[in-house]
Amino acid sequence: MLVNKNQTKKRGIHLIPKGKFFLFKVNREKIAFALLIIFVVSWFINIESHPQKNDSNIVLKKKFLLLIDFVYLNCPPCMQSLIDFINIINSYKLENSVLGVLIYPKVETELDTKKHAKIIEKQLRGFTIGNDIKFPIILDKNGIFNSLNQKGVSLILFDIQDRVIKKYKFPLRKSQINEIFFQKHEE
């Protein structure tokens, strides 16, 4: 199938001539979104094949992707809502339902990037131990989630039972916490 250049630019795909062939250059945001979808689908398949106890519980039918901006960790007043969320996750033993991703700013050189990543990994270890975080938080070393970053902490809720995806920005209000953990979602 021949593709018109104008059509490809609208879709975020660019053709680059290379001899007789064309190379495809795809937008990073589209790649991040595709990886997110693949991750979510595999997560759901994994969960559906391993039913948990108390399967009737509404909370067990929900999965959470927590996007944390590194700068947010240096603001103690900003952290209270995140700490409250972590305490709820721990009290309901939902560690297997949460994945955290720490997004951090890039530095100029590759050598500085490696040093910076090691420092941030150590700070992340201290943060998880100090706040009794039992779910995994991975460091986004390749900047895949930068396009989803909204400067702070965002929660993406995947409600399996109601087939709803919602995004929340921290700090969370009490009504949002009730909606996330205790209510069914409408499309």
How large is the average pLDDT for residues 3-20?
A: 52
pLDDT band at 155 (very low <50, low <70, confident <90, very high): very high
Q: Could you read off the pLDDT of 160-184 as tens digits, one per residue?
A: 888 889 999 988 999 999 999 887 6
Query: What pLDDT score does 61 carry?
Result: 80
pTM, two decimal places: 0.67
pLDDT band at 75 (very low <50, low <70, confident <90, very high): confident
Token pair belonging to 34: 């595709």
Q: Under CATH, to which class is 58-187 assigned?
A: alpha beta
How large is the average pLDDT for residues 21-46?
A: 61
**Lowest-confidence range among 39-43, 56-60, 105-109, 132-136?**
56-60
Q: CB of 89 within 8 A of CB of 54?
A: no
User: How would you classify the pairing of strands 153-159 and 164-169?
Assistant: antiparallel
Q: From CA 4, how far away is CA 147, in angstroms rounded?
A: 27
* Kind plus residue range of the DSSP H or E element containing 179: helix 174-182
Best CA proximity match to 154, nearest among 162, 141, 140: 140
Domain boundaries, the chain: 8-49, 58-187
Token pair belonging to 26: 């795809």
Query: What pLDDT score does 48 carry?
Result: 45
Q: CB of 43 within 8 A of CB of 35?
A: no
Rounded mean pLDDT of the chain? 76
**Percent of the chain residues past pLDDT 90, beyond the cut:** 27
Position with higher pLDDT, 20 vs 133: 133
> What per-residue string of b and e applies to 59-79 under the rule 16 or more CB within 10 Å gives b?
ebbbbbbbbbbbebbeeeebb
